[in-house]
Structure 1
Amino acid sequence: MNRLSFSRTQILILLSVWLTFLLSFVMRLSWASVMPILNEALHFTAKMGSQHISAFYFGYALTVLPGGILADKIGYRRTILFSLIGMAAVTALMSTITDYNMAWGLRFLLGIMSGPVQASCLSAIGDHFGPNQRGAAVGIFMSCTSFGITTVNLYAPYVATHYGWQTAFLATAILPLVVLVLCYFTVRKPSAEILAQREAEASEAAAKLGVGQTSLVENLKHIVSNRNIRCLAIAGFFATGTTWGVTQWANLYMVKQLGVTAIYAGQVMSVFGTAALIAKPTIGILSDILPIKKNHLAALVMFLFGPALILFASTSNPNMLFVTGPILGIGAFMHSALTNALVVQSAAPHLRGTTAGFVNLFNQIGALLAPLLLGNVLVMTGSYQMSLMSIAIAPIIGACALFFIRLK
Structure 2
Amino acid sequence: MSPRTFAALLAAILLLAGPARAQLTIEIIGGGANQIPIAVLPFAGESMLPQSITEIIEQDLSRSGRFRAIFVGGVNTPPTEIAQVDFPEWKSRLADAMVIGQAQRLPDGKLEVRFRLLDVIKQSQIGGIAFTLTAAQTRLTAHKIADFIYEKMTGERGVFSTRIAYIVKQGPRYELRVADADGQNAQSILISSEPIMSPAWAPDGTRMAYVSFQNKKPILFVQSLSASKQPAPVANYRGSNSAPAWSPDGKQLAAVLTKDGTSQIYLMSPDGGNLRRLTVSQAIDTEPFFTPDGQSIYFTSDRGGSPQIYRMPASGGEPVRMTFEGDYNVSPRVSPDGKILAYISRVNGRFQLMAMDLESKQIQTLTDGLRDESPSFAPNGRIILYATDIDDRGVLAAVSSDGRFRQRLGIQAADVREPSWGPFLGN
Decide: shared fold, TM above 0.5.
no
Normalized per residue, the structure richer in helix is 1
Computing the radius of gyration over CA atoms, which structure comes out larger, 1 or 2?
A: 2
What TM-score do you get using the length of structure 2 for normalisation? 0.22
